[in-house]
Chains A and B, each alone.
Chain A
Amino acid sequence: QVQLQESGPGLVKPSQTLSLTCTVSGGSIRTDNYYWSWIRQPPGKGLEWIGYIYYSGNTYFNPSLKSRVAISLDTSKNHFSLKLTSVTAADTAVYYCARETTSYIAFDIWGQGTTVTVSS
């Protein structure tokens, strides 16, 4: 059973870079069946797709965040990472990593989520 687990700092200062990692267990990240995604949810609000990475290293981002986002893959550690630069209070959210499957064309497995607060 594939499981995803987010990790990273829970507090980031304004204008700094948010960095999170999602560790995949129970399966390999190096497969052509999946896109490895980041999705966030501000407090009391809805979900927002941030972007995803394919095993080849190709990345795709939400146009509204594209200028500040990077997603990378480390197949040796079976994890993928998110970097969001120049953060503001509006970036405070629960950040989820999730798997998008080409079998379902949907996000079928999600991590537990990690809360990131942007504050000085």
Chain B
Amino acid sequence: QSALTQPPSASGSPGQSVTISCTGTSSDVGGYNYVSWYQQHPGKVPKLMIYEVNKRPSGVPDRFSGSKSGNTASLTVSGLQAEDEADYYCSSYVGSNNWVFGGGTKLTVL
């Protein structure tokens, strides 16, 4: 399985919205509603932000939202805050009890 494709970087000013894409194929992103997103601050552990495309675990602000269209999933961060600056990784189930991650996107808050 190949890694999912994410843009290496994204940026936005405080208060703005930014969307990060995650492109796969019909065998992963397009084939299952099991896309999740993880936030990782430098030197820290990844944190689950979105699961099953658009669901938020308890404690994750509703500024974070997820969606999917065809083979591309997206993470939108609204009302950007300084603490949102981090790396973001998407992940998708690919069937047969296998998973694949994206290459990661560095989000900068200007």
Contacts and interface: CB of A to CB of B under 8 A. Distances in A.
Interface residues of B, number: 25
Q: Is the interface of B mostly helix, strand, loop or mixed?
A: strand
Given A46-B89, A63-B1, A106-B51, A96 B97 contact: no
Interface in B9-67: 34, 36, 38, 45-48, 51-52, 55, 57
B46 A47 contact: yes
Contacts of A45: 103-104
Contacts of B96: 60
Nearest to A103: B51
Contacts, number: 66
Contacts of B57: 104, 108
A112 B98 CA distance: 23
Interface range on chain A (Cβ under 8 Å from partner)? 20 to 34
Nearest to A100: B99
A46 B52 contact: no
5 contacts: A47-B38, A52-B97, A100-B99, A104-B48, A107-B91
Interface of A: 35, 39, 45-49, 52, 60, 62-64, 96, 100, 104-108, 110-113
